[in-house]
Amino acid sequence: MKNIAVIGAGTMGNGIAHTFAQSGFYVSLIDINDASLNKSLATISKNLDRLVSKAVISETQKSDTLSRISIYTDIKLGIKEADLVIEAASENLDLKLSIFKQLSDICNAKTILATNTSSISITQIAAVTNRPEMVIGMHFMNPVPIMKLVEIIRGYNTSDAVTKIIMDVSKTLGKNPVEVNDYPGFVANRILMPMLNESIETLYNGVAGVKEIDTVMKLGMAHPMGPLQLADFIGLDVCLSILNVMYDGFKNPKYAPSPLLVNMVRAGKLGLKSGEGFYNYATSRKADVISSQFLK
């Protein structure tokens, strides 16, 4: 396996492309937007510069990594030679189903189809393809080049052979793959998201402020980042989407998103990506930006 196609040039897509290319794979990075692709390449180059400055890689290794990444706005051209396609588009079921229907029609019969979804059913995605046994989840953690974990999620029909290939490929990247079964939220988000949601509820109920909640969890639980800061980093819209998937999947009220989270997403306060969430990143001031309008 040498040729990888990554669909989606956002934060996860560029991180996945970077990681594969740095590990010697040839990567086709695909997006419908030229600007997103160019921004992605610039981000990868900047991240490689950091590695060069820390003497983790050489300038030659940086140049070689970038030379192995090609960008495409035409999905047919981008996946033409792919042994493995990894979808890293937005966490939206309809979008993912549309992409996988298209991939099923145009990919080589031997091409493995993977999704970086953090919560959506692999079995449901695989069902719209003509090769459900070759569909699998590869849930990378952000930032992809640094984080070691990859959740490998088997759908109902995913074959043993495909699972072994993806486990082995993940190890080639220097990652630690962990095989899990296909239930809403898998393992990482099934445990993480209720904690983040409960932290938001704690704020919503007036128990403590943003900095106080984060400080308790950092100092008391040895978390490197407070839960509200982490939610900002992930994206509050992504957190809401994952909680909704889990709530719909389990029909258990413990997964219902906090009203405060819902209101913040409606107001466009999405965290780091929008410049403002529980903290204000636009002014580089980590002050509590929750206002009374969100508490109504």
3 state SS for 240-295: HHHHHHHHHHHCCHHHCCCHHHHHHHHCCCCEHHHCECCEECCCCEEEECCCHHHH
Averaged pLDDT, 121-128: 98
Report whether pLDDT(283) > 90. Answer: no
Report whether pLDDT(289) > 90. Answer: no
Q: Are 112 and 162 in contact (CB under 8 A)?
A: yes
Q: Is 118 a catalytic residue?
A: yes
Q: Hey, what are 109's tokens? A: 């019969």
Q: What is the pLDDT of residue 294?
A: 36
Distance of CA 285 to the CA centre of its chain: 26
Q: Using CA atoms, how far apart are residues 80 and 111, in angstroms rounded to an integer?
A: 10
**What is the residue-averaged pLDDT of the chain?**
94
Q: Hey, what are 43's tokens? A: 């981000």
Of 47, 151, 170, 276, the catalytic one is 151
State percent of the chain over pLDDT 90: 94
Q: Using CA atoms, how far apart are residues 283 and 227, in angstroms rounded to an integer?
A: 21
Averaged pLDDT, 251-268: 97
Residue-wise DSSP of 157-218 = T--HHHHHHHHHHHHHTT-EEEEEE-STTTTHHHHHHHHHHHHHHHHHTTSS-HHHHHHHHH
Model pLDDT for residues 161-208, shown as the tens digit of each residue:
999 999 999 999 999 999 999 999 999 999 999 999 999 999 999 999
Q: Look at 139 and 293; give whichever has higher pLDDT.
A: 139
Residues 6+ apart with CB under 8 A from 150: 138, 139, 140, 141, 170, 173, 175, 176, 177, 178
Q: Is 121 a catalytic residue?
A: no
Phi, psi of 74 (to 5 degrees): -100, 110
282 — pLDDT class (breaks 50, 70, 90): confident
293 — pLDDT class (breaks 50, 70, 90): very low
Q: What is the pLDDT of residue 288?
A: 41
Q: Is 18 a catalytic residue?
A: no
Q: Using CA atoms, how far apart are residues 230 and 213, in angstroms rounded to an integer?
A: 12
287 — pLDDT class (breaks 50, 70, 90): very low
Model pLDDT for residues 74-112, shown as the tens digit of each residue:
999 999 999 999 999 988 999 999 999 999 999 999 999
Of 139, 197, 199, 276, the catalytic one is 139
Averaged pLDDT, 200-220: 98
Of 28, 47, 170, 189, the catalytic one is 189
Of 28, 40, 116, 118, the catalytic one is 118
Q: Hey, what are 269's tokens? A: 């306060």
Q: Is 189 a catalytic residue?
A: yes
Averaged pLDDT, 30-49: 96
